[in-house]
């Protein structure tokens, strides 16, 4: 039985799409505090102002992240949401769960919290919505002791690292994303659980340029699988695709008749660098021009595979919109071997070099991508001890000025110009 | 020369007690010892939280530090208001 009249929210149940209002009403039958979410939200719709207070000192002992304080500013009117803290659980690599484990998590949350969850937050965590302060420690005890699961990151911490399915399921994965994600998660436990930085910091691991965890759009360090030799071509399979004997796109999009497969129209003409052509009945690729868009591999997975010399491209500095709009990560290292054999040493060294600089030079609440934007890519590359390479260049320069470093100029900035002019008239 | 860990912690506490703003970002403590690396200062500040002398305040996206007696507590005396 509804506790509050919610005519505005009820409108959101009328469309053909799933409705969070319906979900909350259903959950409220079990957890009555959820009625107050609806009541408070209805009021916010009417008054056009939020009634949530955001943030606080809440947490569990020894941790400085994983829990986000939420309070109602109308606790007497909506006592069910007086405290309504969010708890983030670190998701397992690739989000593999047993259904038993998911049920156990849900049971635990119905015992200590509202029972409402969000699968998953944009960082990848399982988000548990709504519990009171006094329930946090007992929930955390049961979570860690009975379910062997940990909290994720929040605040100015390293956020829960995320990865795609990687080599566990995907033939395109150019490195073991699960191993990399797990190793770095364990290596950086302190940074995940206690604040360390001027602002949040994320890394994500995608096995190939399809980038199924959207690392390039959402992480400060995106580790995206790639290869540096040539795409492997099975010419016999190419012929089978052309003959229509193998369905394109692995049989996806097969709900309607798209007509006969046309390699010219569906693959060659869509190559962004126009580096593919047919010659003598064979598919040819100018691999030096390939930008790893993955379209041809996606369309003809039985004919085309990533090369054999595999590793990852490292891009730095993505963020979702904050101050200046969304920003994709910038390619910094075109190819790096990413391997458990050396415990991801090269990647760890790269990440820590960024941290040492950003912790010093980043402003409060400034993502590393914003710091890079502020100081400029040339400065960032210098900080990282890298030589500029063509892949760093966004577009040809549009002004004629050349900027020199002091050490590149004979006599530096201190030389006697008059003495110079005595020999070289202006 | 960088401060010892105890000296650094004392300097951080002093800053947290006397700063005009009660809640401070980790970068606000860097000035406590310009010779210490940010990571050393972060570790000292986090140790003070572990020892119960300071507390974290988190908005969810950013974390700040404060003395217990100066922190904004949504559940302060009289409960949530």
Kindly list the domain boundaries of chain A, sorted by start residue. Answer: 7-146, 162-219+316-392, 232-305
Cβ-based contacts of A83 with chain B (< 8 Å)? 75, 80
Distance separating alpha carbons of residues A181 and A192, to the nearest angstrom: 13
Q: Is residue B29 part of a domain?
A: yes
For the structural domain made of A162-219+316-392, what CATH number should be given?
Answer: 3.30.413.10
- Position A323 scores a pLDDT of 65
pLDDT at B79: 42
Ranges of H-type helices in A195-319:
215-218, 235-243, 263-266, 295-299
Total number of domains in chain B: 1
B76/A contact by beta carbon, under 8 A? no
Let me know if residue B47 belongs to a domain.
yes
Classify residue B75: in a domain, yes or no: no
Say yes or no: A92 contacts chain B, CB-CB below 8 A.
no
Per residue in A192-217, pLDDT (tens digit) is 999 999 999 999 999 999 999 999 99
Q: For residue range A355-379, list pLDDT tens digits in order.
A: 999 999 999 999 999 999 999 999 9
- How many angstroms separate the CA atoms of A172 and A175, rounded? 9
What pLDDT was estimated at residue A75? 96
Residue B39: inside a domain: yes
Does residue B77 form part of some domain? Answer: no
The pLDDT confidence band at residue A408, using thresholds 50, 70 and 90, is: confident
Residues of B in contact with A195 (CB under 8 A): 26, 42, 46, 56, 58, 63
Q: Across residues A58-71, what is the average pLDDT?
A: 94
Q: Search chain B and give the residue with CA nearest A81.
A: B80
% residues pLDDT > 90 (chain A): 85
A154 and B55: CB-CB below 8 Å?
A: no
| Mutate which: A55, A125, A192, vs B, most B CBs within 10 A | A55
Report if residue B40 sits inside a domain. Answer: yes
Taking the C-alpha atoms of residue A95 and residue A106, their distance in angstroms, rounded to an integer, is: 16
Which among B60, B74, B75 has the least Cβ separation from residue A68?
Answer: B60
pLDDT tens across B24-81, in order? 999 999 999 999 999 999 999 999 999 999 999 999 999 999 998 888 777 765 444 4
Task: For residue A274, give every residue at least 6 positions away whose Cβ sits within 8 Å of its Cβ, in sequence order, or none.
Answer: A289
Q: Which residues pair with A204 in a beta bridge?
A: A162, A222
Q: Is residue B78 part of a domain?
A: no
Q: What is the mean pLDDT of chain A?
A: 94
Count CB-CB contacts under 10 A for residue A338. 25
A162-219+316-392: same fold as A7-146? no
Architecture of the domain defined by A7-146:
2-Layer Sandwich (3.30)
pLDDT (tens digit per residue) in A237-275? 999 999 999 999 999 988 888 889 999 999 999 999 999
Mean pLDDT throughout A109-127? 93
pLDDT, residue A304, reads 98
Entry pTM:
0.92
Q: Which CATH number fits domain A232-305: 3.40.50.300, 2.40.30.30, 3.30.70.20, 3.40.640.10?
A: 3.30.70.20
Q: State whether A359 and B39 contact (CB < 8 Å).
A: yes
Of B26, B74, B79, the CB nearest to A195: B26
Average pLDDT of span A345-357: 97
Chain B: give the shortest CA distance to residue A345, in Å.
20
Instruction: Give ipTM to 2 decimals.
Output: 0.91
Q: What pLDDT score was predicted for residue B80? A: 46
Is the residue at B65 inside a domain?
no
The pLDDT tens digits for A290-311 are: 999 999 999 999 999 999 999 9
A117 min Cα distance to partner chain B (Å): 17
Q: What is the mean pLDDT of residues A134-148?
A: 97
């Amino acid at each position: 039985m509804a506790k509050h009249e919610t005519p505005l929210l009820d409108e959101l149940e009328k469309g053909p799409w799933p409705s969070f209002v319906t979900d909350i009403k259903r959950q409220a039958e079990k957890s009555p505090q959820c009625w107050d979410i609806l009541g408070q939200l209805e009021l916010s719709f009417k008054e056009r102002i939020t009634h949530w207070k955001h943030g606080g000192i809440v947490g569990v002992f020894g941790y400085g992240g994983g829990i986000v304080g939420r309070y109602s500013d109308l606790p007497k009117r909506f006592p069910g949401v007086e405290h309504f803290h969010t708890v983030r659980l670190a998701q397992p690599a690739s989000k593999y769960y047993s259904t038993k484990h998911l049920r156990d998590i849900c049971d635990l949350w119905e015992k200590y919290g509202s029972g409402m969850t969000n699968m998953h937050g944009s960082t990848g965590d399982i988000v548990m919505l709504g519990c009171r302060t006094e329930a946090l420690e007992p929930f955390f005890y049961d979570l860690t002791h009975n379910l062997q699961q940990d909290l994720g990151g929040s605040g100015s911490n390293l956020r829960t690292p995320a990865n795609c399915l990687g080599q566990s399921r995907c033939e395109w994965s150019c490195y073991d994303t699960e191993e990399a994600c797990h190793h770095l998660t364990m290596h950086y436990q302190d940074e995940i659980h206690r604040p360390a930085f001027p602002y949040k910091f994320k890394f994500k691991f995608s096995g190939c340029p399809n980038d199924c965890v959207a690392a390039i759009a959402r992480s400060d360090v995106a580790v995206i699988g790639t290869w540096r030799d040539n795409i492997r071509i099975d010419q016999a399979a190419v012929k089978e695709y052309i003959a229509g004997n193998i369905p394109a796109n692995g049989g996806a999009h097969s709900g309607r008749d798209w007509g006969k497969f046309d390699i010219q129209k569906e693959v060659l003409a869509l190559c962004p660098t126009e580096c593919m052509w047919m010659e003598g009945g064979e598919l040819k690729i100018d691999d030096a021009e390939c930008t790893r868009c993955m379209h041809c591999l996606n369309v003809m997975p039985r004919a085309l595979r990533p090369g054999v010399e595999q590793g990852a491209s490292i891009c730095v500095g993505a963020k979702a919109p904050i101050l200046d709009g969304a920003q994709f990560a910038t390619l910094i290292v075109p190819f790096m071997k990413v391997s458990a054999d050396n415990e991801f040493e090269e990647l760890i060294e790269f990440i820590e070099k960024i941290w040492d600089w950003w912790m010093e030079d980043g402003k409060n609440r400034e993502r590393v991508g914003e710091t890079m934007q502020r100081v400029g890519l040339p400065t960032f590359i210098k900080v990282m001890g890298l030589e500029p390479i063509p892949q760093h260049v966004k577009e040809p320069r549009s002004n004629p000025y050349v900027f020199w470093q002091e050490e590149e100029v004979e006599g530096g900035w201190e030389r006697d110009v008059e003495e110079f002019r005595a020999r070289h008239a202006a | 020369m960088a401060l010892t860990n105890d000296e650094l912690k004392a300097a951080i506490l002093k800053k947290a007690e006397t700063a005009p703003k009660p809640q401070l970002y980790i970068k606000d403590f860097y000035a406590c010892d310009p010779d210490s690396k940010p990571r050393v200062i972060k570790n000292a500040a986090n140790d003070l939280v572990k020892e119960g002398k300071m507390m974290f305040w988190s908005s969810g996206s950013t974390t700040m530090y404060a003395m217990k007696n100066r922190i904004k507590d949504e559940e302060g005396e009289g409960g949530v208001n």
